[in-house]
Every structure is written in structure tokens, then in C-alpha cells.
Structure 1
Amino acid sequence: MTTLRFRSAAVRAALAALFIAAGVLVATDFAEARAGRSMSFGSRGTRTWSTPAPTPTAPTATPMQRSATPQSQMGQTAARAPGTQPGGFFNRGGFMGGLMGGLLGAGIFGLLMGSGFFSGLGSLSGILGLLLQVGLIFLVVRFVMGWLRSRNQPSYAGGPNPGVGGPGPMQRSALDDTPSPATGAGGAPGRFGFGGGLRGKPLQLAAGDFDTFERTLTEVQESYGRNDRATLARLTTPEMLGYLGEELDELARDGLENRLTDVKLLQGDLSEAWSEENRDYATVAMRYELKDAIFERATGRLVQGDADRPVQAIEFWTFTRERGGDWKLSAIQQGRV
């Protein structure tokens, strides 16, 4: 009887630890609220499912997780249409998602049946051993996924050019150079990822375009924080407005508001700029800071974040315009350093 009571207590303790760990994952995702909630979504024309070219600000970007653009026949996973749930740690498909799901499922099933991955839970050491094994498996899978991603990243010749750039944090790389199919928008050979099967013609940008990108970053975040959908409709494509509107609707249902203030671009540079038919695209890597906090609408109580302490983010923002029209935000992808 004593052994059975102890084993029941051990199972309850292990399940509690797993629920706490899951809560930490949810809290971590919730902490990075802001517009887009740290996801990668939107459209980049025919380059939607290709990785943006690396820059000094952000060497790589996370793959697109949600887009209305159908995926081309290039052996990649199917595109997500608007309204579907984005991928996440527990929603990843494919080999890695199945591997993690199988390992975690085996461990939890074993826990409930009285055995862990390699041994039973008849003692506290068994519980700690299970949690340690789950952690080790997570780290191994993260390492393998990072290695596979690194093999698929586009290589580029030439690094940062410290002698190029204009006023402010956004680098206006070699704006006066004549673009060519082999060089890209700034004339730096291979740096902006043109060629190599990517579609579209290289596009030359003006200094005013970079000013627009920086201003749009601030206006999108602050209008999102005010739930100002009219301004968001002016600054974003209909697809992006739909995604951001879904997030604002979810906050409203929960009686919350995400206040975003003091947005400041710290560093930025061009990744890619190209034209397709009568539409232009530009993807820019940006590192910026802002104050990001979530409050209860009814009471004004702080729920998440710090209203007085800025946090930083690194993202690729893609802008599009009809020829001769205004730039609008069409995609956000999370950057990695």
C-alpha cells in the first residue's frame, strides 16, 4: 500500500512538472506579443517560400509559417491558408515534429504506465531522470534542426561594407550603383541573393524608400497597440491586415490590450529588392526596440511585459507596392543572429 501511494504521488508530481513546463512555453510565446507575435507570416510574391538573403543585421530568417500564397512545386511543405493555425513547438509537422511527438508521447505514456524512457518512476530520481531525458532530446532535436537549416541557407559573397550607408540606422547600400541580374539592388555581387533560381528583376531603391520602411515600422506597431485598424489598413496588404486583425480580435475576446510604444529602429539593411510584372518588393532586416506590455482593458492591470523597459526584436519586413504606388507591409519573418 505504501509503495502504491508513493507511485501515485510520483505520477502526480511528474504530471505537475510537465504542466508547469508547458505553461512556461506558453508564457514565453505570450511574452513576445507585439504585432505578429513572433511568428513568420505574409507573402513575398514568388519568393514567399524562399529564405531572404542574409544581412549583417540578421544572418538568417525563420521559414514562412503562414501565407495565402500557394507554394510552388519545389519539394517544400504545403502553404498555410489564412485562418489556419500557425505552426508552433507542438504543431510542427514533418520528420522533426513526428520525432518530438513520438518521443514525448512515449515518455508520458511510460510515465502513466509506471515506466519512463529507460526506467520506472518508482522514486524521485525516476521523475528527475524523465525530465532530464526530455530536456536532452529537445536540445538534440534543436541542434539537428539548426544544422539542417544551415545547410539550406543561401551563401553570399562579400560581407558588410562599413563605408556604405546614409544617415540613421537604416543602411542605404550603394544606392547609386547600377543593378544587374548578377549583382542585385545595391551592386554588391551576390549579397542580396539575386540569381540562383530566384524570380524577378533586380530593383533599384531610393533613399526615400528606406525612410518609408523605417516610418512604417513605427506606425504599424503603434497603430496595432492602439487597435487602430484604419491605419493598419492603409499601411498593410489585405492579407496582413487579416492576420493582425485576428490577433486583435483574440486580445479583445480575452479583455486585453497590447500597448506598444517608443518604437525605435536600431539597425537595418536591405536583404532583397526585386520587381515582378507590375509590382515591386523589398525585404529589409531590422533590429528595433519598443515597449511592449499587455493590460486588462477593464482595470488597467498589467498582465504581461514591462511598460517601462524596452525589449528588442530582429525581423525581416517585406514591403510591396504597385508600380508608382505606396509601399505596404506584406510579410514579417523572425530573424536569427
Structure 2
Amino acid sequence: MKQNSSRLMPRKSIILAAGAALSMLSLVAHPDVADARAGGGMSMGSRGSRTYSAPAPSQTAPFGATPFQRTMTPRQQAPGYGMQAPYGAGMAMARPRHPFMSGFMGGLIGAGLFGMVFGHGMFSSGMGGGGFLGLLIQLALIFFLVRWAIRRFSNRGGGTGGSVASPFGATGPAAPQQGGSRNVGVAITAADYQAFQQALINIQTAWSQQNVDAMRHMATPEMVSYFNSQLTELASRGARNVVSNLRFERGDLVESWRENGADYATVAMQYSMIDITTDMTGRVIEGDPSNRTTVTELWTFVRSAGLGTWLLSAIQQTPRR
């Protein structure tokens, strides 16, 4: 009897482990249960010709955004594709290289390597750089000289290399500080910022009410189709997501531009909310009704050039650090 019971113990352990694995698998297969707000924690939609270009970093979203997981914009048909920094380029590509600095740095490094190969170093006449200590001194001098030159020439550029952060608050959006940024091609007013913030609230409210018809007046047909698909998938599992007590925390303009008779604006927005998922009886199956969830997303809006209502055309998630 003892032998039989000892043989059953490993089997019980295997069954328990398999059950735990299946539970984890269900979460992986349905990640939108954990991120069930409008957008489902995914990057989806279109940004016109910049769909496959990485948005510039901003104060609210310093690490940019993740690439689109769902989009109707074909890669090969995106006009102007490749003109912006591609995904994965990192923070180093946010500022273009100065042509003079590229040649200057190449000359310094080339001269140093040439001297090292022939054993007399870059400054052999005055320092005797043939030894290891001389090599370290030379490399340190090159480093500080190049860093000084980069700062000098970057300051002359007038600050046109990166995006301009224009924070807007819940009580009154600030006017955009364009400052000659190449990423700001369309003037975004305080009324526009207020419209973006109100759209965030209205879309999340319509999502919680499962009101797809209301979303058609707030988002592009592409985004409405994604929202409808997500709501249908939740309903098929007997679940419903409810977002309440939404509070806008902060945000800034990432970039704005005009193309093909339409204005685009991408804004980074950080907001908090009560985000829960319930079954059809109202029992909470995911989330905490007593704790707020804070997220940062990039929302892109589109309208007819210079007029009309801003419509949501894309939601992008920020990389999780």
C-alpha cells in the first residue's frame, strides 16, 4: 500500500504542474484579458506614411512606441516609407549625424589607428605614445576632444534634431512649443489638445458600454473594426471589460504632419483608471476594483487638413522597462 501511495505522488505533482502550465498558456493565448481596455494593450491602426516609422521619443514616452501588431497599411504601398527612423533604431537615431562631425571623427580615429599600427602613436613627437600608458592617454584625449566637438556643433544646430515636448494637463492644455522642430509640421492648438484628452475619455467610456456605434464618430473605420473584434472576442468568452474613474495624468506632442489632404498628430498620453474584467454576472475575474492602473500610450489622430473633427487612427503601446 505504501508503494502504491508513493507511486501516486509523482502523478499528482505532474497533474498539478500540467494544470498550472495550462493556466499560464491561457493567459499567453489571451493577453487582452490582462490589458482589456480599449486597444487591448496592443499596437494597432495606421499613421499614414509613418505607419512603419518609429515615433520620436518624448518626455511622457522616452522610449518611443512598439511596432504595429495590426494595421491595414501595406508596407510596400506606404508613401515616403524609410524617410523616418525605423523601429529598433533606438535613441541614438533621434538626432541626425552632422556631416562635418562624421568626417572629423573619422579623421581623428583614422589618424590614431594609423599611428598605433606603426608604433609611434598619434602624438608621438611630444608624448612617446609607444607604450600602453601612452595608448590610454591618446584614447582619452580623442574621447574628450570628440565629445567637446559634438557639443559645440550640436548647440549650433538650433535644436532641430529631435521632437519638442508640449505637455498638456487635465485642467488646461498648454499651447504647443514648436521651436522649429522638424517633427511638428501642423500647428496644434490648446483646443486640439483638449479634443485629444476628451477623445481618450469618450472612447474608453464607449468601450466600457460596448457602444460600437458611438465609436464610429470618434475613430477611423479601421480602429472601429479592431474595437468591434475585441469586444466580440471578449463576449465569446463570457467576459466584459469596464474602465472607470479615468484620470488623465500628463501628455505631450510627439509629432504632427500633413499628407494627402489630411492632418495627423501623434501624442503620448499617460492616464490612470480602474480597469476590471467581469463575467456576465458582474463577478470580477481580472483586475482590482480598488487599485488604479497607470498606462502610457501613443495615440494618433487624423482629420481633414485644417478643419473637421479629430478621429483616432492608431494606438501604440510603449516598451515595458
TM range (shorter): 0.5 to 0.7
Alpha-carbon distance in structure 2 between the residues aligned to 1:172 and 1:153: 28
Q: Does residue 321 of structure 1 match 2:303? A: yes
Deviations 1:201-226 (A, max 9, x none): x1111111111000000000011001
Determine if contact 1:158/1:188 at 8 Å carries over to the other structure.
no
What corresponds to 1:122 in structure 2?
A: none
What corresponds to 2:72 in structure 1?
A: 68
Aligned residues with identical type, % of pairs? 34
Which range moves more in the overlay, 43-52 or 9-18? 9-18
2:247 alignment partner, one of 251, 264, 281: 264
TM-score, normalising length: structure 2: 0.66
1:57 alignment partner, one of 57, 60, 72: 60
1:33 alignment partner, one of 31, 36, 44: 36
Deviation at 1:248, TM superposition (A): 1.2
What corresponds to 2:271 in structure 1?
A: 288
What corresponds to 2:50 in structure 1?
A: 47
What corresponds to 2:294 in structure 1?
A: 312
Determine if contact 2:167/2:253 at 8 Å carries over to the other structure.
no
Deviations 1:203-258 (A, max 9, x none): 11111111100000000001100111221110000000000001111222223221
Q: Does residue 335 of structure 1 match 2:274? A: no
Alpha-carbon distance in structure 2 between the residues aligned to 1:160 and 1:49: 21
Tell me, what secondary structure is at the counterpart of 2:59?
coil
Which segments of 5 or more consecutive residues in structure 1 lack a partner in the other structure? 75-147, 175-185, 195-201
Which segments of 5 or more consecutive residues in structure 2 lack a partner in the other structure? 79-86, 96-160
What corresponds to 1:301 in structure 2?
A: 283
Q: Does residue 187 of structure 1 match 2:126? A: no
What corresponds to 1:247 in structure 2?
A: 230
Deviation at 1:319, TM superposition (A): 0.2
Deviation at 1:10, TM superposition (A): 7.4
Tell me, what secondary structure is at the counterpart of 2:94?
coil
Deviations 1:4-28 (A, max 9, x none): 9898777656645543443454576
Determine if contact 1:263/1:290 at 8 Å carries over to the other structure.
yes
RMSD of the alignment, in Å?
3.1
| Greater C-alpha Rg | 2
Alpha-carbon distance in structure 2 between the residues aligned to 1:26 and 1:234: 31
Alpha-carbon distance in structure 2 between the residues aligned to 1:252 and 1:231: 18
Alpha-carbon distance in structure 1 between the residues aligned to 2:308 and 2:238: 38
Alpha-carbon distance in structure 1 between the residues aligned to 2:164 and 2:262: 28
Q: What are the within-5 Å matches in structure 2 for residues 135-174 of structure 1?
A: 149=88, 151=90, 154-156=93-95, 157=161, 168=170, 170-174=173-177
Deviation at 1:150, TM superposition (A): 5.3
CA pair 73-212 structure 1, distance change in 2 beyond 3 A: closer
Alpha-carbon distance in structure 2 between the residues aligned to 1:8 and 1:301: 34
- 1:257 alignment partner AA: R
Determine if contact 2:256/2:266 at 8 Å carries over to the other structure.
yes
1:205 alignment partner, one of 164, 188, 197: 188
- Equivalent pairs, count: 241
What corresponds to 2:210 in structure 1?
A: 227
1:214 alignment partner, one of 181, 197, 221: 197
Determine if contact 1:171/1:269 at 8 Å carries over to the other structure.
no
- 1:187 alignment partner AA: G
Deviation at 1:306, TM superposition (A): 2.0
TM-score, normalising length: structure 1: 0.63
